Amino acid sequence: MKIHIGCDHAGFTLKELVKVSLSSQGHEVVDHGTFSEESTDYPEYAHATAGAVEEENGIGILICGSANGVCMTANKHQGVRAALCWNDEVAKLAREHNNANIICLPARFISVEEAHQMVHTFIHTPFEGGRHERRVSKIACA
């Protein structure tokens, strides 16, 4: 599976660990930055990642300190449904009920193990459709 990933400086270390894990599982990981722990502006990387997800109708991961900034930025893209996730159940429901296509992880508030589990759950959980399809179709602004 092709997975787009991006982060700011606060999410850099976690992003690198998630990339290694995903690559070892055979996934193609496209890294949209940042590429160091040097202070940077999260919207640059959130827009790059969200734009690629939107263009390819793909799936993505965004990471920053709280995940709020990258989530807000990504959700400005019409074809993106980014979900801020802090535990495995939230990650599962984001896919099942909301058809989220980007998971946003708060690097300062979760462990590496929690991040790996949430990413695994997120990328392997299908959208349920049904009654949820009607609701998801009402998200976009006309």
What is the pTM for the complete model shown?
0.97
Angle 38-43-44 (CA atoms, 0-180°, nearest 5)? 70
Q: Which parts of the chain have pLDDT scores under 70? A: 142
64 is catalytic: yes
Q: How far is CA 50 from CA 53, 70, 109, 115, 121, in A?
A: 5, 9, 22, 19, 20
71 is catalytic: no
Given this structure, which CATH class describes domain 2-136? alpha beta
Q: Which residue out of 97, 116, 120, 132 is catalytically annotated?
A: 97
> What radius of gyration, in Å, describes the C-alpha atoms of the chain?
14
**Amino acid at residue number 141:** C
Task: Identify the pLDDT of residue 141.
Answer: 85
Q: Which residue out of 7, 9, 32, 64 is catalytically annotated?
A: 64
